[in-house]
Amino acid sequence: MRVHVDPQRCQGHARCAALAPEVFELDENGFSTTRDGVVPPDLELDAGKAVRSCPEDAISVTLEDSAVHA
């Protein structure tokens, strides 16, 4: 599983970073980014919660070579 934050859609709510701090972090302006985009299997549940919590739908998920917008 990989995640990507669209910087054009992110509004800095930081819910993803609060729910999955091992996957998401905030940049110097308070907007979410991913550490490297790769989500270890043991963090997929937290990352999924973070993706679903984004009010701007700014996070995309890639599973097995196909992009899914959560």
Among 45, 14, 51, which residue's Cα sits nearest to residue 31? Answer: 14
- Provide the pLDDT for residue 35: 84
For residues 19-43, one letter each, b for 16 or more C-beta atoms within 10 angstroms of the residue's C-beta and e for the rest, the string is bbeebbebeeeebbebeeeebeeeb
Condensed to tens digits (0 to 9), the pLDDT of residues 49-68 reads: 999 999 999 999 999 655 55
Domain boundaries, the chain: 2-69
3-state DSSP call for residue 10?
coil
pLDDT at 70 over 60: no
State the fold for domain 2-69. Alpha-Beta Plaits (3.30.70)
- Provide the pLDDT for residue 69: 58
pTM attached to this predicted model: 0.85
Condensed to tens digits (0 to 9), the pLDDT of residues 28-46 reads: 999 999 989 999 999 999 9
Q: Residue holding tokens 């991913």? A: 34
